[in-house]
Structure 1
């Protein structure tokens, strides 16, 4: 995915044309208005305990600071979207990206407090101008 000012250029997007012709297809999609906030791309795996604690941390942070609810999270199940997941550099989930930059990646044995601080850092970064 390549980020343009007001658009996303999707490289190798899944669509009927790709299946029919076996080629990578390019699509341009207009970005949603986000009130100046950046969107978070959140890679997870179903059943992942670290992903669950990141979601719990996000919910708690939203309860403490309701402005965080305005940050849009695009959750991607890496098992269901392996082609998209392969385009990003991470080894562990959860992994969170803003504008293609990895902001947070969990690690084995990560404690809840550490995950919460990392999710807060992601939310704060998404709200920056």
Structure 2
């Protein structure tokens, strides 16, 4: 079982073969948390050598992640993939709404959206 309260979790990954997160000049906002930052050629925890750079950020909303991604994309080169991950933790029934603004933000970045639902009773 995933240990999380009833609610949401928002995260975003930026990836690219020529993307070097270690060279970013963009400061991570106080409401964001860096979960993973690896350059191409780095070794993952599983021992695999990465062919792409990856920056995985957790935030409090799609909007906060979008605003951060916009700053990164304006200042960095090499990002070829953007993915937003939304996790919904629920009791009883999983209801989820993504606003038109949030959908437009994800689309503007050419991003993918992954949604997972976790029943707290499992």
Provide the TM-score with structure 1 as the length reference.
0.27
Larger relative contact order (CA 8 Å, sep ≥ 6):
2
Q: Judging by fraction of residues, say which structure has more strand.
A: 2
Provide the TM-score with structure 2 as the length reference.
0.28
